[in-house]
Amino acid sequence: MQRQRAHAGRHGPAILDSRTTRFRLWAPDAQKVSLSVVGAQTLPMSAEKDGWYSIDAPYGAGTLYRFLIDDELEVPDPASRAQAGDVHAPSVVVDHTGYRWRNAEWRGRPWHETVLYELHAGLYGGFAAVEQHLAGLVELGVTAIELMPIAEFPGDRNWGYDGVLPYAPEAAYGSPEELKHLVDTAHGLGLMVFLDVVYNHFGPDGNYLGRYARHFFRHDQQTPWGDAIDFRRREVRDFFIDNALMWLLDYRFDGLRLDAVHAIPDRSLLTELAERVHATVEPGRHVHLVLENEDNRASLLAQGFTAQWNDDGHNVLHCLLTGEHQGYYADYHREATGKLARFLGEGFIYQGQNNRRGESRGEPSAHLPPTAFVLFLQNHDQTGNRAFGERLVSLADAEALRAATAVLLLSPMVPLLFMGEEWGARQPFLFFTSHHGELADAVREGRRAEFAEFAEFAQFADENVREHIPDPNALSTFEDSRPDFSSHREPGHVEWSALYRRLLQIRHREIIPRLDGARFRGAQVLGDAAVLAHWWLGDHSTLRLELNLGAAAVPLPAAPAAARLLFDSREADAQRGQLPARSARLYLENAHER
């Protein structure tokens, strides 16, 4: 077992020796700052240049503390490494060198080997409980888990996107040591661990930065969550870049998924973050940075970022599977077959074209490798942002969903599964929080108003709409979202488990060894909701996809005689020169067999 040197960022406490810690706070709008240690005397901190306050105090790991602003307001450390309870509780000094890593020689895995599995640690029961499921995921064929955000948030139930203390793992999930043990255990099983991080806003409860560092935000730019963060300031940029480095170095995460970077107005923050990460991690270690970016900025994927979540791909597949066309699905429902072909043949659908609002969106993407796109049929957003959190197994035709699952798991794009998807879980994934008082009321009513105008609620009077939308703050909403991990062996679920297992076996045997160097080759429309797509793989072989999500069979060109069938979702319905309705077939044509 090995100790590890802690990452030394400027924000937050730094342990100087076993009995001394340097406490720091950037508080340019405070006239006075003091260190308030629980059970001890309050100590004045020294004012330094550029709005910093600092003190070297005789306290070590485990110390509980707050900062006292202008003798009137006690606040947690915004760069707290752990909390003694909730976001308003005292912060805790953490010694990141104290954990002894059992798998310190782990260097990660190449990106093309990635099969992601997104999960919510709270629904599993915390970090220690997640560990109990890792071996089963490895056996399934997963190579990486991705934790939804775990930064300390108000209450003990939350998706994680209301975090206010980005450096502190949520206390309700476990301690920093338990989180490290989870990562360490995953590495011992050959699993990568990714973390979803939120650098575009803070949650609405527990953020005190505006009181003593109001220029942390810029009031001339707005986001969906309020004033934008002011990344023009060095102190603010370092706050988030050092946070990324902490997760990658102190916790040894293998990668980060950066949430909604389209809401970060200063693109240079992203490129600097990527540069700092790649310059800092030890040589030879695989670390991957993945974006969520509605703007489809393909250029970022050549500036230090590994991949982007492909919402375009999800959205067009969802429209074809369900027929839904409300909200943002309206951008994909019209001319859906052509958009399906563009997604399979070039990556993004929107590469500068106008959306339904007449706004140009996206950049050309066909030059990127298919592995630059993370593909999914379900995730926390696309399931949880539905009024009732229904999963696709309850919304789509089973045969069409089988075909789409083959695309997910056998295309050269990197697949992402959402917890429970692999056994056809029918428990919903709902939007849940644990706010209180007026904030709880506002969240509840806002959630209900969001769906009040949707067609499925038009039959209800306003008061009945309120009754039908689950209350995000109710404990039952959280409990109803917990996957039933014992159900995967029950009738109706065994078939889905077998499908995912079979497809992932094919992926590991036939696709992953050929992925490095893969390229898009294009796609053509065969008929309504039916396309033929090809990709060049890294060994010069060709992967051929025949996909028909429509209700009628379509004619198609025969596969080359030398092409080897990898998977046929409708084996019993095979017809010469025809692609059956709601089916997918994939072939591999090796270069030496042409």
Catalytic annotation, residues: 259, 292
Nearest residue to 377 (alpha-carbon basis) of 420, 293, 318: 318
Rounded distance between C-alpha atoms, residue 284 and residue 270, angstroms: 23
Residue 452 in contact with residue 462, Cβ under 8 Å?
A: yes
* CA distances, 503 to each of 44, 180, 189, 403 (Å): 62, 31, 21, 11
Closest-CA residue to 242 (of 196, 282, 276): 276
What is the spatial distance between Cα 392 and Cα 59, in angstroms, rounded to a whole number? 53
| C-beta of residue 70 within 8 angstroms of C-beta of residue 76 | no
Pairing assessment for the beta strands 46-47 and 64-69 based on DSSP bridges: unpaired
Q: Name the H helices within 107-201.
A: 121-124, 127-131, 134-140, 176-188
β-pair partners for 197: 258
Alpha carbon 226 to its chain centroid, in Å, reads: 22
Which residues fall within 8 angstroms of residue 78, CB to CB, at 6 or more apart?
Answer: 11, 25, 165, 207, 208, 209, 239
Pair 217, 228: CB distance under 8 Å: yes
The amino acid sitting at 176 is P
The CA–CA distances, whole Å, from 301 to 155, 307, 363, 373, 407 equal 36, 6, 11, 10, 23
Nearest-angstrom CA–CA distance, 518 and 500: 23
Please choose, from the candidates 394, 468, 464, the residue with its C-alpha nearest in 3D space to the C-alpha of residue 429.
394
Q: Which amino acid is at 548?
A: N
What kind and span of H or E run contains 24?
Answer: strand 20-26
